[in-house]
Structure 1
Amino acid sequence: MKVLVIGLGGVTNGGKTTLAEKLKNMLPNCDIISQDDFFKPESEVETDERGFKLYDVLDALYMDEMVTSIHNWMKHPASPGVVAEEPENMCDNLKNVHILIVEGFLLYNYEPLNELWNRRYFLTLPYEECKRRRSTRVYQPADTPGYFDGHVWPMYLKYKNELEENASMQVDYLDGTKSQEELLSYVYSDIIQELNKLREENQRVTS
């Protein structure tokens, strides 16, 4: 059995969750783990001197539990959902490949995760569009006045800069202002290429 672990990271409100769900419906044997499921309770999240809850940092998340969940999935992939059809160019010996999409805003700045990825994608948005989208969402707890400019956006830039400075990390940056259809088409095709690489490797091993 082979597994393919795909990272879908990037900016808040960049379309990560929507894209992940659409990919799951198109890809064979595909599951999703969401980083948002590993947030600490509000009482355990640090508050700064401005009264901002510091949610957009690694310390606000149970990252060790997230890594454990991914490792557990890799050992025992969940049962696949119903897929309408499999890609035409997928050979029989890859129908047992299981795909995990991990989506979240801070995937590539935590070293224990970086040894797991087969592919890394990072959605970006310009400031104004990100702020506009964020204003349409309702969070618990709700964003306080100035929270986006005072915490959310600066932390996004900080972690994105760290990522860009890491020359050894291969990341595919995606423009989040493009349509969901265009993003889906690109990422889906890219993942199929990864599956085909597995096919070629498998053929070399078995020939």
Structure 2
Amino acid sequence: MQLTKVVTIGISGPSCSGKTTLALLLKKLLNRVIVINQDEYFKSDDQIPIDENTGLANWDSPAAIDFKSLNEAIDKARRDPFALLTKKEKKLQNNHHGSDLMTKQDFNDISDQLKFLEDIIFIIVEGFLLFCDEDVCANLDNKFFVTASRQVLKKRRESRPGYKTLQGYWVDPPGYFDQIVYPQYLLWNSHLLDPKTIDPSIQILNTDNTSVKEMTTVVINSLTQNYT
């Protein structure tokens, strides 16, 4: 019988909001961590839906993600976390290296709380569309939505060189953020952007006015309150 507590953390938000940075920082801070990256569950390049208006591949649609396999991966990690703790994980793609923005002193400031979480295995699920799939959302014990202003998101996205795919490498065509990325973000996350419809269990973290240290501290405080 498995006696170790296993807890899932869902970190979602628009492209370039800072969610991968947060996931990497939590991996550094927490004692036992498994990271599942939604980007590993994109469908094959030839299965990505085509946007009717632009004729461009729409990588930001839920139809581009194999949510069934993603949810099965979360279930598998819950059932047998020890097998995954010893397995070498794929490195998260994080082109702006924000996980280096916390100093040694920043880590020390948080360290006192971490001892209360040492015996828990945390499964961090990171991705830009986690909360639009009911099954995946229901499989997440703690939910954080990392966001930023359109201007900041656009600047970060357009500074990135591209993304690895199953069959190759994707580079955003000119105007892709305005035509695909941001409209799709608004469409599929509308329930999170309206205070009247947002799930109260989802905590919103805005990186426009929250530092990396503050954002990480909010998550650690939440975990400490929930599991100690």
Give me the TM-score of the superposition, normalised by structure 2.
0.77
Cα distance change, pair 22–115 in 1 and its aligned pair in 2 (3 A)? same
Mapping of 1:76-95 within 5 angstroms?
A: 76-77=80-81, 78-79=84-85, 87=113, 90=116, 95=118
**Matching residue's letter, 1:79:** L
For structure 2, the residue ranges without an aligned partner over 5 or more in a row are 88-107, 163-168
Which residue matches 2:8? 5
Separation in 2 of the partners of 1:95 and 1:187? 15
Q: 1:171 aligns with which of 202, 205, 210?
A: 202
Give me the TM-score of the superposition, normalised by structure 1.
0.84
The Cα of 1:3 is off from its aligned counterpart by 1.1
**Matching residue's letter, 1:145:** P
Identity of matched residues, %: 30
Q: Greater shift after overlay, 1-10 or 72-81? A: 72-81
SS of alignment partner, residue 108 of structure 1: helix
Contact 2:48 2:64 in 1 (8 A): yes
Contact 1:28 1:80 in 2 (8 A): no
SS of alignment partner, residue 122 of structure 1: strand
Which residue matches 1:53? 57
The Cα of 1:87 is off from its aligned counterpart by 4.1
Q: Greater shift after overlay, 186-195 or 116-125? A: 186-195
Contact 1:28 1:86 in 2 (8 A): no
Q: 1:29 aligns with which of 26, 29, 32?
A: 32
Which residue matches 1:204? none
| 2:113 maps to 1:103 | no
Contact 1:31 1:80 in 2 (8 A): no
The number of aligned residues is 191
Contact 2:30 2:114 in 1 (8 A): no
The Cα of 1:97 is off from its aligned counterpart by 2.1
Q: Deviations over 1:156-182 (max 9, x none)?
A: 111221334645552100012222122
The alignment yields a C-alpha RMSD, in angstroms, of 2.2
Contact 2:13 2:127 in 1 (8 A): yes
Mapping of 1:1-207 within 5 angstroms?
A: 1-49=4-52, 50-77=54-81, 78-79=84-85, 87=113, 90=116, 95-139=118-162, 140-163=169-192, 164=194, 166-168=197-199, 170-177=201-208, 178-196=210-228
Separation in 1 of the partners of 2:188 and 2:115? 37
**Matching residue's letter, 1:110:** D
Contact 2:10 2:130 in 1 (8 A): yes
SS of alignment partner, residue 20 of structure 1: helix
**Matching residue's letter, 2:218:** Y
Q: Deviations over 1:170-202 (max 9, x none)?
A: 210001222212211221222222221xxxxxx
For structure 1, the residue ranges without an aligned partner over 5 or more in a row are 197-207
Deviating above 3 A after TM superposition, structure 1's stretches of 4 or more consecutive aligned residues are 84-89, 163-169
SS of alignment partner, residue 131 of structure 2: coil
Separation in 1 of the partners of 2:143 and 2:67? 18
Q: Deviations over 1:131-160 (max 9, x none)?
A: 011111122311112211111001111122
